[in-house]
Amino acid sequence: MKKKFVAAVILSFILLSSSALPSRATEFEDALAQQKDIQAQKNQVQSKLNQLTFTADKIKAQMVELDAQTLLAQKDLKEKQEATKKIQAQLLTAQKELAAKQKEADERRQVLAARMRAIYEAAPVSYLEILFEATDLGDLITRFEYLSRLVENDQTLLEKTRAAVQEVNERTKKLQETQDQALQLEAQAQAAKTTLDNKLQQQKTLLAQVKKEQEAEWEEVEKLAAQEEAWQAKIRQLQAGSKSGGKSSTITTWPLPGYYEISSPFGWRINPVTKKRGQHLGIDIPAPSGTKILAAASGEVIFAGWDNVYGYFTIIDIGGGVTNTYGHQSKLGVSVGQRVEAGEVAGYVGNTGWSTGPHLDFGVRINGKAVDPLRYFR
């Protein structure tokens, strides 16, 4: 009876154990499937975001070109306005001169008319009578020259008067035509500048719209990143759980010897890429691209590949549910399943993923929960 009881207990334990394994395996597979689905969504959003970024950069380039064209148009308009003012000043001077010449011509006509009227009123005499009245040959010549010069002077005076009026009239007419052309060119320059101003305003409006769409996509990316991080934590927890009872190795090695500046510590911050406030799950250590990254502790590589946020990304399970993460690498130095000892090369510093410069994002997670890595270093 006792043997039957023991056998039943053993059988129950085996059944329970065997049922637990598929449950854990199923849970692990579901977590991987969820992560894969979220990754696909992130890729779609990231693709759209990349397209929006390309569009925004293109609009900015067009705006720079329009700004340059607008400056040239403004300069051209200013030159046309100054030319118009100069011509208008010359036209005003010519109009004043024309008025003076016309006044002079009128006065000359009045003098000529007065003289002709006086001769007429003094009783007309023929040239022969004046000549026959001469007392001698010298007097005759003198009288003849006087009459000739008088007539010649009257004709010259009349011709000069007409020529002066005609010359000023022609000059005024040309200046008027030049002014009309200058005003037309000024109007064209103003129209060109107005067109460029309108185009520039349209580009500004379009850029604002693209930025608004970018912000919406960034929010979606952040949302998906948070979901992915949660599933990654769950996966790491399940992976750590599969090695339950194992003792974690000690974090003893600074991952970037010689580089101790922390550009962004663990905790809340403004993300340099998204410009949004969020929690930084690691510490950023700036270093030149290609610098060797050393494993902070001994353990097994459970992930080594590409992540949209962290770029080339490595996770090393150091036991006891503790993992070390190495993000934004330029090149991976290890592969999944590999055993890595503390101080060995795990990768190389880079600028991949969401990064604004070459650095290492080093993190420590306990059962999937991020903790401040600096607690392990003095």
Q: Which of 85, 199, 204, 92 is nearest to 77 (CA)?
A: 85
HSE toward the beta carbon, residue 43, CA cutoff 13 A:
8
In a domain, 24, yes or no: no
Residue 322 has pLDDT above 70, yes or no: yes
Verify that 268 and 230 share a domain, yes or no: no
Which domain-ending residue is among 218, 242, 266?
242
What does the pLDDT read at residue 83? 85
In a domain, 296, yes or no: yes
The angle at the Cα of 218, spanning 216 to 224, to the nearest 5 degrees, equals 105
Verify that 130 and 201 share a domain, yes or no: yes
Longest dimension (CA), the chain: 190
Residue 302 has pLDDT above 90, yes or no: no
Once rounded to an integer, what is the mean pLDDT over residues 257-284? 79
Q: What are the structure tokens assigned to 328, written together?
A: 């934004």
Residue in the block written with tokens 């410009």 = 275
Residue 22 has pLDDT above 50, yes or no: no
In a domain, 360, yes or no: yes
Which range marks the domain in which residue 373 is found? 246-378
What does the pLDDT read at residue 133? 62
Residues 313 and 353 sit within 8 Å (Cβ to Cβ):
yes
List, for residues 289-299, the tens digit of each pLDDT value: 999 999 999 99
Q: Which residue type occupies 249?
A: S
What does the pLDDT read at residue 112? 64
Lowest mean pLDDT of 148-152, 189-193, 198-202, name the range. Answer: 148-152
List, for residues 363-376, the tens digit of each pLDDT value: 998 877 788 999 99
What does the pLDDT read at residue 18? 42
Once rounded to an integer, what is the mean pLDDT over residues 248-267? 90
Verify that 338 and 214 share a domain, yes or no: no
Once rounded to an integer, what is the mean pLDDT over residues 320-338? 91
What does the pLDDT read at residue 1? 47
Once rounded to an integer, what is the mean pLDDT over residues 146-171? 71
Verify that 310 and 327 share a domain, yes or no: yes
What is the band of 88 on the pLDDT scale with cuts at 50, 70, 90?
A: confident
Verify that 254 and 359 share a domain, yes or no: yes
Residue 359 has pLDDT above 50, yes or no: yes
Most confidently modeled range among 111-115, 178-182, 270-274, 312-316: 312-316
Once rounded to an integer, what is the mean pLDDT over residues 268-282? 68
